[in-house]
A and B are shown apart, each in its own frame.
Chain A
Amino acid sequence: MTVIRRVLALTSGRIAVAVLAVIALLAALGPLLAPQNPLATSVRTLADPSAAHWLGTDYLGRDTFSRLLDGSRVSVLGSLEVALTALVVGAVPGILSVHLGRAFEWVTLRLTDTLVALPFLLFAVAVIALLGNGITQAMLVTGVLVSPLFYRVARAATLAVARSPYVEAAIVSGASLGWIVRRHLWAKVLPPLAVALAQTIGTGFVIVSSLTFLGIGVQPPEPTWGGLLASDLGYLAHQPWAPAAPALLIMVTVWACNLLADAVRDVSGEAGRALVDRRRARVHRTDQAVTTPAGGAR
Chain B
Amino acid sequence: MTPPTTQHTRSEQPGTATEPTAAPVLSVRDVHITDRASGREIVHGVSFDLTPGRTVGIVGESGSGKTLTCRAALGILPPHFEVTAGSIEIAGTDITTLTPARWTALRATTISAVFQDPASYLNPSIRVGAQIAEVLRVKTGLTRREARDRTLELLRAVHLRDPELVRVQYPHELSGGMLQRVLIAAAIAAGPRILIADEATTALDVTVQAEILDLLADLRERTGLALVVVSHDLAVVAQLCDEVLVLRHGEVVEQGPVRSVLHDPRHDYTRLLIAEHEQYGLERFRPAKEHA
A/B contact in complex, CB under 8 angstroms: no
